[in-house]
Amino acid sequence: MSAISNEALAFWRAAERDRITFDILSAAANAPLESLCFNAQQYVEKLLKAALTLRGVAFRRTHDIATLAELLTAAGGDLPAPLDALKSLAPCAVLARYADFPFVDIDRDELTRLVTGAGPWAAKLRKLYSLP
């Protein structure tokens, strides 16, 4: 397996940890929205980084999903959700962990749709690149 494939798989493994955490938290009615949002954002961010890595696209160290998504589409890749939906996760990367949450216009159901929708997209990409 190539170094690029190994790096992409490392992003996928990290994303799966975030997905598992999201799933555990989303099962708890009292889970803080900020925590759900953070794990959803991290999951999608790492999947985008895996996709960029597979396409050989260089990206800076960032939590900016919009930038990552724009790089991916510029390289001819598709996205796991519409860009506007992905952008709604932006405040979840950092701000939601350190501040009150009213500036984010996203709810549990939308987070769940984004996370759930990204799974088949990631599986399709892994199959396309013949990754385990």
Contacts of 79 (CB under 8 A, 6+ apart): 48, 69, 72, 73, 86, 121
Domain span at 10: 3-128
Nearest to 96 by CA among 34, 22, 30, 18: 34
CATH number of the domain bearing residue 122: 1.20.120.330
Q: How far apart are CA 102 and CA 104, in angstroms?
A: 5
Provide the residue type at 2 as one letter.
S
| Backbone Cα Rg of the chain | 14
Q: Is the pLDDT of residue 82 over 90?
A: yes
How confident is the model over 100-126, as pLDDT tens digits? Answer: 655 567 889 999 999 999 999 999 998
How confident is the model over 23-76, as pLDDT tens digits? Answer: 999 999 999 888 899 999 999 999 999 999 999 999 998 989 999 999 999 999
Q: How many domains does the chain have?
A: 1
Q: With a threshold of 0.85, does the pTM exceed it?
A: yes
Q: How far apart are CA 103 and CA 15, in angstroms?
A: 25
Provide the residue type at 88 as one letter.
S
